Chains A and B, each alone.
Chain A
Amino acid sequence: MKFIIRTIIIIIASHFSLLYFPWWSMAICAFFAGAIISGKNLNTFFSGFIGLGMLWLIQAFIIHNDSNGILSDKIAELFGLSDGIFMVIIAGLLAAIIGGFSTLSGFRFRRLFSRDKTRGLYR
């Protein structure tokens, strides 16, 4: 449940942030989401990974699709790729990796100040 909430928060906060601020502002959103809603390492990493990855993937895909790839195909050609859809995938992957690591660092940041309760209970 926390995973879904965190992922959704990352998507929404990053979406609005990207409308007004530079691209790396989404990493800050992911960082705070990771810090606010705790979880486990992998759990936080993947909510950032999926959150930002999906956001960029979907947004890029919508533009690619709506514009018939008029520019994404050309940019793909500049990168030596055959189809603009690869640019969609690359954008998605790039955001996913940044999302994963920044959410995880947010979570680890929180851990600097609060004790890991789960560890005490089960180990």
Chain B
Amino acid sequence: MNFIKFLFPFLISLALIVGLDQKWGQVPPLGKFLDPYSGFWANSENRDIGFEENPYINGLQDSVKIYYDSILVPHIYANNDHDLYMAQGYITAQNRLWQMEFQTHAAGGRISEIIGKDGLDFDRYQRRNGLLYGAEKAVKMMEEDPTIGPILEAYTEGVNEYIASLSYQDLPIEYKLLDYKPEKWTTLKSGLLLKYMANDLAGGDSDAENTQLLKMLGKERFDFLFPDRYENVDPVIPKSREWDFEAETVERPDSIEFPLVFPDNKAPQPDPQNGSNNWTVHGSKTSTGKPILANDPHLALNLPSIWYVMHLNSPSVNVFGATLPGALGVIIGFNDYVSWGVTNATRDVRDWYHITFKDKEKKEYFYNGKWLKTQKIIQEFKIRGDENFYDTIYYTHHGPIVYDEDFRPGNSKTNFALRWTAHDPSNEQLTFHLLNRAKNYNDYEKALTYYDCPAQNFAYADVHGDIALWVNGKFPLRWEEQGKFIMDGSRADMDWAGFIPREHNAYMKNPEQGYLSSANQIPVDSTYPYYHYDRGYEHYRNRRINKKLETLQNITVEDMMRLQNDNYSLLASEILPSILDSLDRNNMTEPEKTAFAALSNWNFMADQDAVAPTYFEILWDDLYRNLWDEFYGLENAVRRPELPITIEILKGNPDEKFIDNQKTDTKESITDLYQMSFKSAVDSIENWKSANQKELNWSNFKNTTVQHLARLSAFSTENIRIGGNRHIINATSGRHGPSWRMIVSMEQPIKAYGVYPGGQSGNPGSYYYDNLIESWSNGEYYELENKSNASDLNNIIFTQTLTPEAK
């Protein structure tokens, strides 16, 4: 009896302990998690800074001092480069460990290790798309580089020293919530992070869609609706540039037949909105007589932020700017002599080849009249709570077979190999290493020669007064239309003949107009001697920026801040008046009258409090959809015509057959489309009003959200009060926008300002997790000081000394 009386409470206790020490579905292990001593409570920091003040670090050569300023930007002072990069690794991990690991797991196709089998399709695509394959090659090249190799190793050690110091209590909250532990950092992870960015910025293409459209429309209609370039473009490199070199040529094969097969179940592509603005203004146009540089990269708005801001100082370098957690050095920033900023040099660098195998074994494929051998690699996927999954990937000389009958076969069930510049060995870290130390234009130009992918427009300004902009990266040398459609993988003349020589990449230095800018538009005008193609150049931000820069004189830093926050919708200004003119003003309902009045009185500023942009947003979406209804609801999603051709048709081609809506019996005119779209837009807004208890204005309507990487809404910031939109300089849409704003005036001493939608801490329990969002949305900036002397720093709130382990 006594034994049962013991056993009963004892078993309950045991069951509770065992049960609450493990994860149940989405619920974290509650015992561990709710423990006030080491559970999630231990991550509640608020304004406290929980860093260890004097951590001992194995492998440091000397002690390193770190001063944190009022927004928790670390100013790192080291006595040598080894220690500097070791400290960068340590400090970045201290603030952003979970993010570092999560992003590289994503790049490496290992998300299912954390979230289970829901992540498998994503993971398989990542591996087949070749991010791991590319990262392995890049890491080999980085490790062999005498400059990058040792500091990459030091960075890795720094991260691992931090990881080794952690007990459960110190783990970032996400590990506790998802119940797993950080693993050791490796140089490969740094490589993966760079490929993660390459995929974000250069991982999309429309070859399959183009092929489908070619089949659907025929060549003539395709060329009309999807031209390579439009009239009146304003390219990155001004039209005044003359090409003073002998271009290499590549023969277009006589008989080209694009195989009209395509992967018809493609994996999700990176957001085509990923883009950016940058500009650099010559001293002749500024109030100080010295150049000003501005940059704001547009990416998905995430928490923890993609950027971590740092000041790195050693005897060889004194650089300040935005870093990528996981990568060495500063990516966008300035030192005592130069400043630089990047935008995506939008250009197609991914081509697809239709592959014919000899048999089901896939050991050989047909190429140039012969059978070539494939390489077969079996990839293992560990799945949380499930058995391992194995995927066989075949490699051709083009690259990996991404789509076949085993992966997203679609209806075509055929094999497509991917050729992508991100698969080639490259050492982009060396570019940033040299830029961080650049003293003049020649240093900058030399640094860029090591940069391959993702291609970027590097804007430059220095204290000597030079400004420049290079459209920089490794671009395939192509015959006209090569790579626009799926190509026949058995023909040698479909392969890339080589690459455009570095020195033939488009650039400009100190132009007469006194400024240079880029905003993901077409890089050059039609006189550039090399064929270049992309599915989605931007057509509005660039023109607005250039128009402003052209008219502004005596430019100040404040002018540049205003320009970065400019909400003018050039798109609306170009189409809305003609829409409004053709609307029937009689017989309008009350809500329609209100909408009409709002739109007619609109100054085209998509400001947060404005009402008109809400009507325009839906009106334009509906109009676009009504015009191109033939392109919606197809069995396979296709791309749709770009904005310039859309507007051209609306304004100048009343007989275009697409204007007729296929769903109706009557034949619509453009005016009918306008009328229909206006009415449906007003209806949608009325519905929005009754569904939402909020005031109707632009920021409430678009609901800009900075979302946690694991999509936990509790860790995200929603409904941020900010204007802007796609195709507007302040490119803030619902989930996307300027991820870092920086302005650097190259006066003496250099004045620099920056802000980003997030915070330096990766901990949702810290005040510094999202404290910069409000300033960002208000268009406010923080001063960035790269004082080479620590004693000159202002507003230091915390100091940390990394000390070498005593022997």
Query: Across the two chains, which residue of chain B brings its CB closest to A104?
Result: B9
Query: Across the two chains, which residue of chain B brings its CB closest to A73?
Result: B714
Query: Across the two chains, which residue of chain A brings its CB closest to B3?
Result: A112
Query: Which of B28-36, B667-675, B785-793 is near enough to bind chain A?
Result: B28-36
Query: Across the two chains, which residue of chain B brings its CB closest to A111?
Result: B2
Interface 1/0s, chain A 97-123, versus B by CB < 8 A?
110011011001101100000000000
Q: Which of B687-723 contact A (CB under 8 A)?
A: 712-715
Q: Give the contacting residue for A111; candidates B6, B45, B177, B767; CB below 8 A.
A: B6
What chain A residues lie within 8 Å of B89 (beta carbons)?
none
What chain B residues lie within 8 Å of A60 (beta carbons)?
34, 36, 41
* CB <8 Å contact, B765 and A67: yes
Rounded to whole Å, the gap between the CB of A22 and the closest CB of chain B is: 7
Most buried by B among A23, A27, A102: A23
Given A60-B36, A91-B36, A105-B10, check contact A70 B46 (CB 8 Å): yes
Rounded to whole Å, the gap between the CB of A114 and the closest CB of chain B is: 10
Given A70-B44, A72-B44, A102-B13, check contact A94 B20 (CB 8 Å): yes
Rounded to whole Å, the gap between the CB of B389 and the closest CB of chain A is: 29
* CB <8 Å contact, A98 and B36: no
Q: Give the contacting residue for B35; candidates A18, A71, A75, A109; CB below 8 A.
A: A18
What chain B residues lie within 8 Å of A101 (beta carbons)?
9, 12-13, 16
Interface range for B: 35 or more
Most buried by A among B12, B16, B41: B41
For residue B143, CB closer than 8 A to chain A, the reply is: no
For residue A1, CB closer than 8 A to chain B, the reply is: no
Q: Which of B1-28 contact A (CB under 8 A)?
A: 2-3, 5-6, 8-10, 12-13, 16-17, 20-21
What chain B residues lie within 8 Å of A56 (beta carbons)?
34-36
Q: Give the contacting residue for A23; candidates B2, B6, B13, B38; CB below 8 A.
A: B38
The CA of A18 and the CA of B714, in the complex, are separated in Å by 28
* CB <8 Å contact, B714 and A77: yes
For residue B766, CB closer than 8 A to chain A, the reply is: yes
What chain A residues lie within 8 Å of B21 (beta carbons)?
23-24
For residue A90, CB closer than 8 A to chain B, the reply is: yes
* CB <8 Å contact, B31 and A112: no
What chain A residues lie within 8 Å of B43 (beta carbons)?
71
Rounded to whole Å, the gap between the CB of B761 and the closest CB of chain A is: 11
The CA of A3 and the CA of B162, in the complex, are separated in Å by 45
Q: Give the contacting residue for A97; candidates B2, B16, B712, B715; CB below 8 A.
A: B16
For residue B168, CB closer than 8 A to chain A, the reply is: yes
For residue A87, CB closer than 8 A to chain B, the reply is: yes
Which DSSP category, helix, strand, loop or mixed, fits chain A's interface? helix
Rounded to whole Å, the gap between the CB of A68 and the closest CB of chain B is: 6
How many chain A residues touch the partner (CB < 8 A)?
A: 37
What chain A residues lie within 8 Å of B390 (beta carbons)?
none
Q: Give the contacting residue for B765; candidates A18, A31, A70; CB below 8 A.
A: A70
What chain B residues lie within 8 Å of A78 (beta carbons)?
177, 712, 714
What chain A residues lie within 8 Å of B12 (beta carbons)?
101, 105
The CA of A6 and the CA of B38, in the complex, are separated in Å by 25
What chain A residues lie within 8 Å of B6 (beta carbons)?
105, 108-109, 111-112
For residue B39, CB closer than 8 A to chain A, the reply is: yes
For residue B764, CB closer than 8 A to chain A, the reply is: yes
Given A74-B715, A108-B5, check contact A98 B16 (CB 8 Å): yes
Given A67-B765, A77-B714, A105-B6, check contact A91 B44 (CB 8 Å): no
For residue A43, CB closer than 8 A to chain B, the reply is: no
For residue B40, CB closer than 8 A to chain A, the reply is: yes
* CB <8 Å contact, B35 and A63: no
Interface 1/0s, chain B 123-147, versus A by CB < 8 A?
0000000000000000000000000
For residue B230, CB closer than 8 A to chain A, the reply is: no
* CB <8 Å contact, B168 and A22: yes
Q: Which of A10-41 contact B (CB under 8 A)?
A: 18-19, 22-24, 27, 31
For residue B173, CB closer than 8 A to chain A, the reply is: yes
What chain A residues lie within 8 Å of B713 (beta carbons)?
77
* CB <8 Å contact, A68 and B46: yes
Rounded to whole Å, the gap between the CB of A111 and the closest CB of chain B is: 6
Rounded to whole Å, the gap between the CB of B145 and the closest CB of chain A is: 42
Given A56-B36, A70-B765, A105-B6, check contact A24 B31 (CB 8 Å): yes
Interface 1/0s, chain B 31-63, versus A by CB < 8 A?
110111111110111101000000000000000
What chain A residues lie within 8 Å of B715 (beta carbons)?
74
Rounded to whole Å, the gap between the CB of B15 and the closest CB of chain A is: 9
What chain A residues lie within 8 Å of B16 (beta carbons)?
97-98, 101
Interface 1/0s, chain B 644-686, versus A by CB < 8 A?
0000000000000000000000000000000000000000000
Most buried by A among B12, B13, B48: B13
Query: Across the two chains, which residue of chain A brings its CB closest to B173?
Result: A71
Q: Which 7 A-B pairs have the closest CB atoms?
A: A71-B765, A59-B36, A77-B714, A108-B6, A105-B10, A23-B35, A67-B44
Question: CB within 8 Å of A: which residues of B?
Answer: 2-3, 5-6, 8-10, 12-13, 16-17, 20-21, 30-32, 34-41, 43-46, 48, 168, 173, 177, 712-715, 764-767
Knowing that A24-B17, A108-B10 are A-B contacts, what are 17 other residue pairs whose CB atoms are under 8 Å apart, sorted by A's residue number? A18-B35, A18-B37, A23-B31, A31-B13, A56-B34, A64-B44, A71-B173, A72-B41, A74-B715, A75-B714, A94-B34, A98-B31, A101-B13, A101-B16, A105-B6, A108-B5, A109-B10
What are 27 A-B interface contacts by the 8 Å CB criterion? A18-B38, A22-B32, A23-B21, A23-B38, A27-B13, A59-B37, A70-B45, A70-B766, A71-B43, A71-B765, A72-B40, A74-B714, A74-B764, A74-B765, A78-B714, A87-B34, A91-B35, A91-B41, A101-B9, A101-B12, A101-B16, A104-B9, A105-B12, A105-B13, A108-B5, A108-B10, A109-B6
